């Protein structure tokens, strides 16, 4: 999408399935994105705990959107989450 500014990308390094039906996501957040998010959320310092909660909520909202899309027989697209507006947007890949 033209005109979009990419602040940084969260690198998903591994997704581990746990025996209880949950999963663990190992990811890396680049420093420039950490700096931007600290400023955006008003954090004095980087908080992995706060970010993990935010990231989990964003993933859950995205999963709900994808589920609604699939139930309405809409063509499936790859989605990413606009983390600042919590609106689904098509990915560039």
pLDDT per position as a tens digit, 23-42: 888 889 999 889 988 998 89
Domain spans, the chain: 29-90
Per-10-residue mean pLDDT, the chain, length 93: 66 89 87 90 92 87 80 52 47 42
Using a 10 angstrom Cβ sphere, with 0-12 exposed, 13-18 middle and 19 or more buried, the burial of residue 58 is: middle
pLDDT of residue 12: 86
* Dihedral sign (CA 48, 49, 55, 58): negative
Q: Which helix H or strand E contains 28, and what residues bound it?
A: strand 23-28
For residues 56 and 25, what is the distance between their CA atoms, to the nearest angstrom?
10
pLDDT of residue 72: 66
pLDDT of residue 68: 77
Whether the model pTM is above 0.75: no
CB 15 within 8 A of CB 25: yes
Exposure on the CB side of residue 83, measured as CA atoms within 13 A: 20
Q: Which helix H or strand E contains 12, and what residues bound it?
A: strand 11-17
């Amino acid at each position: 999408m033209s005109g979009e500014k990419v602040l940084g990308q969260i690198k998903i390094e591994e997704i581990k399935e746990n025996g209880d039906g949950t999963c663990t996501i190992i990811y890396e957040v680049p420093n420039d994105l950490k700096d931007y998010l600290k400023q955006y959320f008003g954090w004095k310092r980087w908080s992995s705990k706060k970010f993990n909660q935010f990231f989990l909520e964003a993933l859950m909202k995205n999963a709900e959107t994808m589920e609604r899309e699939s139930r309405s027989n809409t063509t499936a697209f790859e989605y990413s989450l606009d983390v600042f507006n919590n609106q689904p947007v098509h990915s560039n890949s």
